[in-house]
Structure 1
């Protein structure tokens, strides 16, 4: 085995290789995700399909695929298998990347790249990365063509620009990535416009290998290939959905945003009357000569509503004057509260997250789940949260590439790659009292980066849970199915008396949260 140093290179004789990132978790630290980009001589990928990572674990050519993460004691391995015989002639090099989830590479202990002959199990090379500090993304090495053969170069170059830096540098279309990546050392304010920061230039410039000779089968005299400098950043993701963690309850309830803890309510923010407590007015006496009108037929939505384990849902929402235009979300009906316990919502129904006499909710978690529609085929979906101000402008988002929003007030808990198993597939935590004052709504979406359609999905739902007690408060089961790659599931909206939740269930085509941001603005509106 060759012990490599930064900038060194070795020839590769094996056709199938395992390139694994290995690190020590005995003293804690962030998780690391391995990824790869198949780059042409232009220095760019041909399309998003040339990016192999947790959410797209296999290249169509079969040349690169993710390996299952393994844990042996306190040592973790996350890597890729390379079949060099299947690499297409248009691919000039394979960039081996790494991204840190929940910290920086300066906090990753014992990180090294281990290259193994997949056929024999013999270790080919090892490269220890020891000089990382505040980087959130790293290029460990690259496998490149030279004189008709393959070589490995030890790179060891870090960047602080996250997935956005990697994507833009290599041509991945993450053109409206979050304004403030969670792990970036110099995070911009959460209310800043969504822009992509250029990759941080490392102190020691990285010199790419000399232009390679044409690959076997490429006619002589073809244009020479060049290898521009590399920028890499992280796509974070564990391979299984971690259990949602419950933050410890606060020693004392935090100061409320909209109502004082005791005494009279603030002006303009009177608490709502208890649901069902409003007295009924006596009916007017009937005139003997007035004909009786037949009773109104039951609402179809009500008569067809399936039984719910949480009791009957509130009356279906109806259109309201001044509501959204045709094609937008239906205007909500009366907003109820949590006085009667758990609430099961139907599409476009709203519930106020206020319970008379109870402390105001401060920490909640949105659990989202789904199952494959048939045959047990894995369906990889991604939950996201879009943060909007009162004008409908997105000010931040939490998604698989940036798991924290609003300086940690919203935290994405990880990814489920298959949809298999019981319980929530993905969980997003929300500290309601920590959200900036200009946040008017948080819209929750589910998308398929891998282009699965919702006709391939069944039993999709979202549920709101009190993080302090783990009590389920609200549930919405998606009953529709359309051949779309995205759906708006629900929205948390700031209202005069506190926060409310509305069930949406509106389908939209979009493989990631970036396609959902502009249409999400329609859900910022006052409750009816």
Structure 2
């Protein structure tokens, strides 16, 4: 029969293998392997879903459970603190129970009570005492969340997400904060658009047309490149300058307009040695948002394509991953039929890739339309390994061409939420970080 260990109480362990589980499922468990000074030796001593094995391999996170072989724990680890966290609720609303089983020894139930608005709770600690190991029920909520917990135990999370580039104010430009900004639409006829140009007034969204297929898909015609609305000509308005060749949108650069090809490719690339994921939020002219991704989020199934118009090709061009050489990329192909108003590509770093910032792995979004391309590097990213999501830019489908704007927006630390996007009445698209559904899997199941 399990032994109940009340809050603050402790019991001796035999020093064997432990299995730690929590109910309900969906609770994220983490372990901090601490030195004698109460701090981690390095960021690698933080075991969580994105870094599931401790440096000595004695602590592992598998299928939502923690296992620990106490006999294999290195001498410099004096204490292991087990915590639980949630993204979309608080522990005051969750009936949390914890069970710790030691192979060939005892089973211990730890009641965790008294939580209110906390999103992170310290469950237990396993610590050395008089040459052996002991277990204590901590049962204490952590007011500052997982990021605060990590910081207090010595994890490097002090880098804030980089702010969005400053936007010159002209008529039609939103004054909202960067993370909730509505983004621009195409230029009025006669206005020039080049890298670094000011923003321009909004124009109506494209009207819905019939389906169009991939140019290289059997039995499908090339995608139409103009609006079905006769008020929006399919050819370029007089005076609009298209971007040509290879263009890089750096910090503070304005939008660029490319001539529209039947097939547009969105490439999210990074230095090999890790494994990012890319997905796209497709904005339709009726306001619907379609998620094109190879893995699910809460209430959103994995869907690698949207009809015959958008398809995710997965990893391409992988270099020498073991040696960290070359580049890896994920490609999303888009036929910009009139029903697609915009596409928001997203780079995501929390699937099976350990830790490492967008800056470290030189993440870049490239948009290719025919022979022309626009590149948006994540060159304003901070060094933090705990920022998991980046929206490098937005791609608008306009009668004049493919309009590309640099955003470089980042999620808050430790957030697993996708961005939320919304089509505004004036045809602009609003991007709000951390407001979408939560990514469901912490392992690459593609």
Query: TM-score scaled to structure 2, two decimals?
Result: 0.51
Counterparts of 2:41 and 2:19 in 1: how far apart (Å)? 24
User: Which of 106, 124, 127 does residue 92 from structure 2 map onto?
Assistant: 106
- What residue in structure 2 maps to residue 95 of structure 1? 81
Counterparts of 1:129 and 1:354 in 2: how far apart (Å)? 42
SS of aligned partner of 1:523: strand
Counterparts of 1:258 and 1:513 in 2: how far apart (Å)? 30
Contact map agreement 1:92 1:144 (CA 8 A) in 2: yes
- What residue in structure 2 maps to residue 79 of structure 1? 65
User: Which of 93, 109, 125 does residue 142 from structure 1 map onto?
Assistant: 125
Once the two structures are superposed, residues 475-495 of structure 1 have per-residue CA deviations (whole angstroms, 9 ceiling, x without a partner) of: 9899xxxx973523379xxxx
Contact map agreement 1:143 1:153 (CA 8 A) in 2: yes
User: Which of 268, 277, 289 does residue 364 from structure 1 map onto?
Assistant: 289
Structure 2 alignment gaps of length 5 or more: 163-175, 186-199, 209-213, 226-235, 237-241, 269-280, 306-320, 348-358, 368-372, 394-404, 409-427, 429-446
Aligned: 1:58 with 2:53 = yes
Contact map agreement 2:18 2:100 (CA 8 A) in 1: yes
Contact map agreement 1:32 1:99 (CA 8 A) in 2: yes
**Closer, same or farther: CA 464–136 of 1 in aligned 2, 3 Å:** farther
- What residue in structure 2 maps to residue 67 of structure 1? 62
- What residue in structure 2 maps to residue 485 of structure 1? 361
* Mapping 1:86-485, distance limit 5 Å: 86-109=72-95, 111-118=96-103, 120=104, 123-177=106-160, 191=177, 268-271=201-204, 308-309=216-217, 311=222, 317-318=243-244, 332-334=256-258, 344-345=264-265, 360=285, 362-369=287-294, 413=297, 423-424=303-304, 460-462=330-332, 485=361
Structure 1 alignment gaps of length 5 or more: 26-30, 69-77, 180-189, 194-255, 260-266, 276-305, 371-411, 415-420, 426-450, 492-501
What is the CA RMSD across the aligned residues, in angstroms?
5.6
Contact map agreement 2:33 2:40 (CA 8 A) in 1: yes
- What residue in structure 2 maps to residue 297 of structure 1? none
- What residue in structure 1 maps to residue 190 of structure 2? none
Counterparts of 1:126 and 1:63 in 2: how far apart (Å)? 22
Counterparts of 1:272 and 1:518 in 2: how far apart (Å)? 22
Query: TM-score scaled to structure 1, two decimals?
Result: 0.44
Aligned: 1:19 with 2:2 = no
Once the two structures are superposed, residues 296-341 of structure 1 have per-residue CA deviations (whole angstroms, 9 ceiling, x without a partner) of: xxxxxxxxxx9644847989942699x857x9989734365xxx9x
- What residue in structure 2 maps to residue 398 of structure 1? none
SS of aligned partner of 2:258: coil
Once the two structures are superposed, residues 356-399 of structure 1 have per-residue CA deviations (whole angstroms, 9 ceiling, x without a partner) of: xxx845453554559xxxxxxxxxxxxxxxxxxxxxxxxxxxxx
Aligned: 1:42 with 2:34 = no
Contact map agreement 1:464 1:475 (CA 8 A) in 2: no
Contact map agreement 2:160 2:384 (CA 8 A) in 1: no
Aligned: 1:523 with 2:443 = no
SS of aligned partner of 2:152: helix
Larger radius of gyration: 1
* Deviation at residue 21 of structure 1 after TM alignment: 1.4
SS of aligned partner of 2:256: coil
Counterparts of 2:282 and 2:20 in 1: how far apart (Å)? 52
Counterparts of 1:319 and 1:178 in 2: how far apart (Å)? 31
Counterparts of 2:282 and 2:78 in 1: how far apart (Å)? 59
SS of aligned partner of 1:101: coil
**Closer, same or farther: CA 347–154 of 1 in aligned 2, 3 Å:** closer
Q: How many residues align?
A: 298
Compare relative contact order (CA 8 Å, sep 6+) and give the higher one, 1 or 2: 2
* Deviation at residue 92 of structure 1 after TM alignment: 1.4
* Deviation at residue 91 of structure 1 after TM alignment: 1.2
Once the two structures are superposed, residues 8-32 of structure 1 have per-residue CA deviations (whole angstroms, 9 ceiling, x without a partner) of: 0000014111111123x7xxxxx31
**Closer, same or farther: CA 461–81 of 1 in aligned 2, 3 Å:** same
* Deviation at residue 151 of structure 1 after TM alignment: 0.2
Counterparts of 1:490 and 1:160 in 2: how far apart (Å)? 40
SS of aligned partner of 2:107: strand
Counterparts of 2:386 and 2:86 in 1: how far apart (Å)? 21
